[in-house]
Structure 1
Amino acid sequence: MSLSGPGVDKFPALFSAGEIRGVELANRSVVSPMTRTSATEDGVVSKQMADYYASYARGGWGLVMTEGVYIDLKYSQGYSYQPGIATDEQRDSWGKVVDAVHAEGVPIFMQIFHCGAMNQGNHWIEGSIAPSVVSPKGKQIPRYRGSGDVFQTPREITYQEISEVVDSYGAAARRAIEIGFDGVEVHGANGYLPDEFLTAYTNQRDDEYGGPIENRIRFHCEIMQAVREAVLDNPVGVRISQTKVNDFEYSWPGGTDDAKVVFSLLAKTGIDFIDCSSHLGLDPVFGTENSLSGLARKYSGLPIMANGKLDRPEDAETALLQGEGDFVAIGKSALADCNWPRKIVADKPRVPFNPGMIMPYATLDCYEDFMAKNPTGIPAKKIEARDVTEGA
C-alpha cells in the first residue's frame, strides 16, 4: 500500500519502499510488538484482534508485527489471555488476522515468545523456568493482569528442556507460516527466556550456556537455527535489547565487545533481520557514536529495525538517514493512533499516547473504552502512569 501526500516528500527515507528476504514493504514503518492480552483464556484469537491488526494495515504501515505469541502448553505463556500458536485451534484462529491484514495489501510477521521467569499468568501449568534460580527484579505488572507482587522464583531449566524449548520455537514458527504469516520474529529481548540466558545476572550457569558472552548467546543461536530450518525461505528475525520490562538500567558488561559477539553470531545463524529494542533508539551506547541498532547494523550486516521513542517522524527519518536502522518500529504512538503513517503523509495531527489507553489493563477493550470517552485521546483529567516500555 503506497501512500501519497506532502509527508512523502518531507520524509523520503521513512516513506521509501523496503524489502526483507523478498517480502516487500511499501515504507519503512513497522508496528512494534505490543502485549494486548485480549485473546481467549486458552489462547485463541478473537475477531476483535483481527479488526485491531487490520486497522494498522489500513493505517498505512509498511509491516505489521504481532504481539508476543506463546509457543507451547508448558512454561512459555507469560500473561493471562495472551494468544498462542501451540495448538491447531490456536494456529487456525490466526487465519482471520492474516486474511484481514493481507486484504489491505500489507505483510504481517508473528513474534513468537517464551516468558521464562517473567510469568504472571499461565493457563496451562504452575511455576516457571529460567537459566538459573534467580528471581526477576521488580514486581508483576498490573496493566498486564499481573498481581503487583514479586515474581515467583523459577527453577533451573534442564538440558532436556532446553532442547524441547528450541524445538517448540521451530514448531511454532512452522505453524505461523502454515496459516499464512509472511515471516517470524523471535522475542529474544526485554527480560524473557532468551534474554535471561544473555543477561549476566540472570544466567549463573557454569556449562556451555553460561559464563562468557559466546556461551550466553548460544541459546539464541540454537533457537534461530531451528526457526530458520522450520520456515525455509520466509523471513526470520530476532528482537534484541539490553534493558528489560523490569529493568531499565541493565547494560551489557562487555560493551562494544559484547555487541560484536552478539550481532555477528546471530547473523551467522542465517537470519534476515534484527529488531533492536532500546529505551531511546537514537541514544549512543558504550561511549561510541552509535546506538544499539547502529552497532547491530555494523556488526551483523543485516537489515535492522530501530526501536525506542522514534515516534516523531523527524526522529524516525534521522535514524534511517544516519544508518541507525533500515526500518523503524513504533510502539506507543502506534497503539495510540493506528493511522500514524497515513496522518504523517497527510500532515494531519495524530492522536497522542495517553496512559489511560492501557488502564486498568493494556487490553483492546480498555483502549476502545478510553477512546469512546476521549475521542481526541486527551482526557479532561490528567492520568498518571509509569513509563511504558516500547514493544513489551
Structure 2
Amino acid sequence: MYRECSILENVVVNQLHLNNRAVVAPMTRVSTRGDGVPTEQMEKYYRRYAEGGFGLTITEGVYTDRTFAQAYPNQPGMTNAQQQKGWEAIVRATHKAGGKIILQLMHAGALSQHLSHTRSASSIQPLRGMLAGYSKKQGRFPAPQAMNLAEIDDAIKGFVDSAIRAEKAGFDGVEIHAANGYLLDQFLTDYTNDREDQYGGSVKNRCRLSAEVTAAIKSSVASHFIVGVRVSQGKVNDFDYLWPNGLNDGEVIFDSLKNAGADYIHFASEGKGFDHGCLTRAGESLPKLARDLTGLPVIANGGLDNPAEANRILTGSHADLVALGTGALANPDWPARLKANDDIAAFNPAMFTFGVTVEDQFTWEEEAGLVRL
C-alpha cells in the first residue's frame, strides 16, 4: 500500500520541517520573457506542487550574474529587484499552499546556450552538442576561456548576492548547482579542468570552488536558511561519466562540502536512473556514502517516481529524501496520490509537443483533457 511508504514520513533538514520526503527536482523550463523575471504561469506551475502534497520544491536553476552565468535565453535569474519580486510571488503561493521551496543557484560556465563568449575552469571544448528545445543556438559548444582568479571571485560573489536575494524573497533556502556539467562541475571534473593553481590537480583542489561558494553563502545568510549542494557523476552532455576513483573521490567531495557548511547533499542521476548515475563502477552507492560519512540529510534522484523504488532507496539508507523530475511533471500531486493509494501516471514525452516551457506544458495538458490542480 502506498500510504505505508516511508516517503510520507516527515523529516527535518537543519531547522526546516518538511511534511514528507517527496521533493520536486530542479527542472529547466526557460519560461520567462527574456528578462529573467518569473511569470504568473510559473507561479501556477510551482504552486500546484505544494497543493499536490510535495514537502519540498527545488526550483529550476537561476543564473547568478549577468556576465557569464546565464545558460539559456529565457532562463530565470536572481540578479535584480524585478527578478526577486517575481520569485517572491512564487514563494508566497507555495507557502500558502503548505509547501516549502528552495531556489537553485546555477552558473552555466562552458555549457551556455545563450552567450557567445563563455568562461570555465580551463579552455577545453565541451563534449557533444547543445540541448535541443532550450535555445535557437545548436551545434557544438565553443571552447571557453579559462577563468582568472578575479573572475572566480566575481562568480562566487554572484552566488552570494543571489542567495541574499533569495533569503529576502522568503525562500526557505538555496541549492548550489555543482552538478550536471555546469560551471562548478566543470571545475570538479578531471577532463574539464587542467588548471595548475589551487583550483586544479587533486580532487580536493577541484572541489575547492564548490566549497568556497558554500562557505561564502553560509556566512552571508541566517543560520536557519538552508544551503544545500547538488552533485552528480553524469552531465547533460555526458550521461555516462563516473567519478574515476569512486568512493575515494566521494569521500573527498562530501567531506569538503560538509566542512564548508552544507545543510544537505543532493545526489543527482542525469538521465538514466539511480542505479546508473548514483553508483560507482563497482556498484557502490555514493548517496549512501554521503549520508554515512557526513551525517547530513541526502536527497537521491533518478527514476524514483515508482513508489516501491523510492521506498527501497529510503529504507535501504541510501537517502533521506527522494527528488522527482519527469515523475513530478506527470504527477504534480504525487504525494497526494500515494496517500490516497491512487495510480501513478507514467510520464508522456508528448508533454513537450509544443515546447519545453511551462506555457507549452499547460497548452498540451489542456488539449489532452488533463484535469490539473
Q: TM-score normalised by the shorter chain: which range applies?
A: over 0.9
Q: Deviations over 1:183-208 (max 9, x none)?
A: 11001100000000000010011111
Aligned residue in 1 for 2:146: 156
Contact 2:24 2:54 in 1 (8 A): yes
Aligned residue in 2 for 1:319: 313
Aligned residue in 1 for 2:160: 170
CA distance in 1, matches of 2:283, 2:292: 12
1:146 CA drift (Å) = 4.5
Contact 1:170 1:229 in 2 (8 A): no
The reply on whether 1:99 has 2:89 as its aligned counterpart is no
1:232 CA drift (Å) = 2.2
Matches for 1:1-392 after TM superposition, within 5 Å: 7-8=2-3, 10-11=4-5, 13-122=6-115, 126-233=116-223, 234-278=225-269, 279-282=272-275, 285-286=279-280, 288=282, 290-375=284-369
CA distance in 2, matches of 1:329, 1:31: 5
1:332 CA drift (Å) = 0.6
Contact 1:281 1:291 in 2 (8 A): no
Unaligned runs of 5+ in 1: 1-5, 378-392
CA distance in 1, matches of 2:78, 2:159: 10
CA distance in 1, matches of 2:265, 2:284: 16
CA distance in 2, matches of 1:157, 1:360: 38
CA distance in 1, matches of 2:183, 2:108: 5
Higher helix share: 2
RMSD: 1.5
TM-score (structure 2 length as normaliser): 0.95
TM-score (structure 1 length as normaliser): 0.91
Judge which range, 80-89 or 348-357, deviates more.
348-357
Secondary structure class of the residue paired with 2:317 = coil
CA distance in 1, matches of 2:101, 2:169: 12
Q: Deviations over 1:6-62 (max 9, x none)?
A: 632x21x11000111111100000000000000120101111101110000000001
Q: Deviations over 1:240-266 (max 9, x none)?
A: 001001101111112211111000111
Q: Which runs of 4+ in 1 moved over 6 A?
A: none
In structure 2, the CA distance between the partners of 1:289 and 1:242, relative to structure 1 (3 Å rule), is: closer
Contact 1:40 1:83 in 2 (8 A): no
Secondary structure class of the residue paired with 2:133 = helix
CA distance in 2, matches of 1:357, 1:227: 37
CA distance in 2, matches of 1:297, 1:275: 10
Secondary structure class of the residue paired with 1:14 = helix
CA distance in 2, matches of 1:15, 1:207: 47
Residue type matched to 1:327 in 2?
A: L
Contact 1:98 1:180 in 2 (8 A): yes
CA distance in 2, matches of 1:273, 1:375: 39
In structure 2, the CA distance between the partners of 1:154 and 1:359, relative to structure 1 (3 Å rule), is: farther
Contact 1:282 1:319 in 2 (8 A): no
1:282 CA drift (Å) = 4.2
Residue type matched to 1:313 in 2?
A: P
Q: Deviations over 1:102-140 (max 9, x none)?
A: 101111100011000001024xxx411001111111111
Residue correspondences, number: 367
Judge which range, 60-69 or 333-342, deviates more.
333-342
Q: Percent identity?
A: 38
Q: Deviations over 1:344-363 (max 9, x none)?
A: 22122233211121245211
Secondary structure class of the residue paired with 2:103 = strand
